[in-house]
Structure formats: C-alpha cells, structure tokens
C-alpha cells in the first residue's frame, strides 16, 4: 500500500517537476514569473486530446504536435508579451508579471471558448495495462510517465551543462549584460529559453492527460500555482531544486490524500512554501546569497 502510494506520488511528482522546470528556466534567465505557463501546459494537454481522442492518431504524434504548438506559443509569448517590455524605461518589475497574466487569461478563455468548460477524456490504448509485482499494482502509464520525465530531466541537465547553447543560457542567467558583452546572443538565448520552457509545459500537459485521463481549461491554473510553489521550494531558478521539489510535492500530496484529509491536498504546496520561505528563503536547494528572498 505504502509502496503503491509512493509510486503514485513519484508519477505525479515527476509531472510537477517538468512543469516547474519550465517556470524555473524562465525565472533563471529573465528573472520573471511566467504566469501563462500553466495555461500553455493546459493547451498542450488539449492538443493531446485532439490528436489522440478526436483524430485517433498514436500517442507519439500527440507529443510532437503538443511540442510544436506550445513551442510556437512560447515564441509568441516572448515576442508579444515579454520583448516589448524589456529594456524599456520606466517599466516596473510588475509589468512582465501582469503581461503574462494577460496571456494566461486570454489562453484560458480561448480554450474555454473552443473546447467548452467540461472534462475531456484522454484515451490511450494502454491506459488499463498493469503489472502485478507481489501485492503491488503498477500501471504501464505510470512507468512511461516516470521514464519520460526522468529522460527529459537528464537531457535538459546535459544540454544545460555541456552544450554551447546551454552554457549561453547559464551565462545569460548569471548576468545578462556580461553575457552579452562576452558575445552571447542574449536575445536568441532568451527566446530559446522561453520556447524550451513552453515545450516542457506542453509535454507535461500530455503526461497529465495520460495520468488522469481528463483535461479541462481550468487545469492550467492549479498546475501553475503548484509550479510556483515548487520553484520556491526548490530555490528560484534552480534546475535541480525544481526536479527535487516537484517529486517531493507529488509524494507529499499523494500521502495526504492516502493517509490524511484529501480536501487539503491543494493546500499542501502552499503551507509548505510558507514555512520554507520563513525558515530558508533561498529554497531547499538554493544558494545562500544576499539576493535570496529579496
């Protein structure tokens, strides 16, 4: 029982981690909270529904379609909502926040308009296949979700630490002006970051569709709020922190549902971060700098 719950928790947590990675990449490079990330995630999930349930195509095409659409959304988000604000005189630090909130309102209501308010089933051919190991039941879907998430995290870590583009991204995150002086094309790096973050959101959307078999226009909001909580938990802009924080939150929520009061599931994330912020404002994995918490 405990082990089964742990597996459920890790499955959920690995999706949370992917969502949080999108937040943390954008925050790390641009220093802003992308409030539209949850809605981009939701659009990714709907693309999954369209491709698999409506068009009846296989799952891998859903992944490709969702990545393509959300990457495009990310590009548009950067061009329309973020770039015009950058480097402009007299722009408060609130402006990009509000701007992305505008995008999130637009996307939520757009999908509400197109798809309707209700739940959409997300069908896949192997949703019911399960493996029995002793007394523990594991669904193939859970393994698949976990493997995809871990693979994504590994690829992202490799890309960030070893490739030239990844180094450019980290340099930009460290200091935009210095990176620019040293010959990094910061404009392109920023665009790439937002696109990758959005595509991660799109993949997470499909994973959630696979895990819960239902997709609705409101799911972006709660996922977005949890993603925010996770990046605080793991340390803002910290990639490893986002992964660990996501897994932790997934397990914690599953345990609350299994052994506590399921009604408080959505509060777990925020009660945790309120304590984290007060005791260790730089996050569980964050570096202790004077900037933390400022």
- By C-beta, is 58 or 293 nearer to another protein? 293
Cα angle 104, 66, 5 (rounded to 5 degrees) comes to: 85
Helix (H, G, I), strand (E, B) or coil at 102: helix
Instruction: Name the minimum Å distance from CB 274 to another protein.
Output: 6
Our CB check for another protein shows the closer of 59 and 239 to be: 239
33 contributes a contact to another protein by CB under 8 A: yes
Of 51 and 81, which has the nearer Cβ to another protein?
Answer: 81
User: Crossing angle for the helix pair 219-234 and 95-115, nearest 10 degrees?
Assistant: 150
Region near another protein per CB under 8 A, out of 117-125, 135-143, 250-258, 262-270 = 262-270
Q: Which residues in the 200-259 window bind another protein by CB under 8 A?
A: 221, 225, 228-229, 232, 236
Binding mask 263-282 for another protein (x = CB under 8 A): xx-xx-xxx-xx--xx--x-
Task: List the one residue from 21, 103, 200, 206 that touches another protein (CB under 8 A).
Answer: 103
| 261 touches another protein (CB under 8 A) | yes
Query: Quick one: CA torsion of 15, 18, 22, 24, rounded to 10 degrees?
Result: 110
Question: CA-to-CA distance for 288 and 207, rounded, in angstroms?
Answer: 34
Q: Count the site residues for another protein by CB under 8 A.
A: 49
Separation CA 243–CA 149 (nearest Å):
10
Handedness of CA 24, 218, 93, 67 (dihedral sign): positive
Q: Which is nearer to another protein, 100 or 142 (CB)?
A: 100
- What Å distances lie between residue 54 and 60, 65, 203, CA to CA? 15, 14, 18
CA 106, 85, 107 angle in degrees (round to 5)?
10
Residues in 76-95 at the binding interface with another protein, rule: CB under 8 A: 80-81, 84-85, 88-95
Q: Which is nearer to another protein, 61 or 271 (CB)?
A: 271
**Is residue 105 involved in binding another protein (CB under 8 A)?**
yes
Strand locations in the chain, DSSP E?
120-121, 130-133, 136-139, 214-215
Residue positions counted in the chain: 294
**What does the binding site for another protein look like in residue numbers (CB under 8 A)?**
33, 80-81, 84-85, 88-99, 101-110, 113, 221, 225, 228-229, 232, 236, 261, 263-264, 266-267, 269-271, 273-274, 277-278, 281, 293-294
């Amino acid at each position: 029982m405990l082990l089964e719950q742990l597996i459920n928790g890790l499955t959920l947590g690995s999706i949370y981690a992917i969502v949080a990675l999108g937040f943390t990449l954008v925050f790390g490079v641009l220093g802003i909270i992308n409030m539209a990330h949850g809605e981009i995630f939701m659009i990714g999930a709907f693309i999954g529904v369209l491709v698999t349930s409506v068009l009846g195509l296989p799952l891998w095409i859903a992944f490709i379609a969702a990545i393509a659409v959300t990457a495009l959304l990310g590009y548009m988000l950067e061009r329309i909502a973020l770039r015009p604000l950058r480097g402009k005189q007299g722009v408060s630090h609130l402006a990009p926040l509000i701007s992305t909130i505008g995008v999130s309102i637009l996307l939520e209501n757009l999908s509400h308009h197109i798809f309707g308010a209700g739940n959409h089933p997300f069908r896949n051919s192997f949703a019911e296949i399960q493996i029995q190991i002793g007394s523990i039941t594991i669904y193939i879907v859970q393994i698949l979700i976990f493997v995809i998430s871990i693979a994504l995290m590994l690829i992202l870590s490799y890309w960030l630490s070893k490739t030239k583009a990844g180094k450019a991204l980290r340099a930009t995150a460290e200091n935009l002006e210095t990176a620019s002086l040293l010959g990094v094309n910061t404009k392109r790096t920023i665009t790439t970051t937002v696109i990758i973050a959005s595509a991660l959101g799109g993949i997470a959307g499909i994973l959630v569709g696979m895990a819960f078999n239902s997709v609705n226009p409101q799911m972006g909001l709660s996922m977005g709020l949890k993603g925010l909580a996770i990046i605080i938990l793991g340390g803002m802009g910290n990639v490893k922190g986002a992964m660990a924080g996501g897994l932790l939150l997934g397990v914690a929520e599953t345990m609350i549902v299994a052994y506590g009061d399921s009604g408080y599931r959505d509060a777990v994330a925020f009660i945790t971060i309120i304590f984290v912020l007060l005791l260790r404002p730089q996050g569980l994995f964050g570096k202790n700098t004077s900037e933390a918490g400022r």
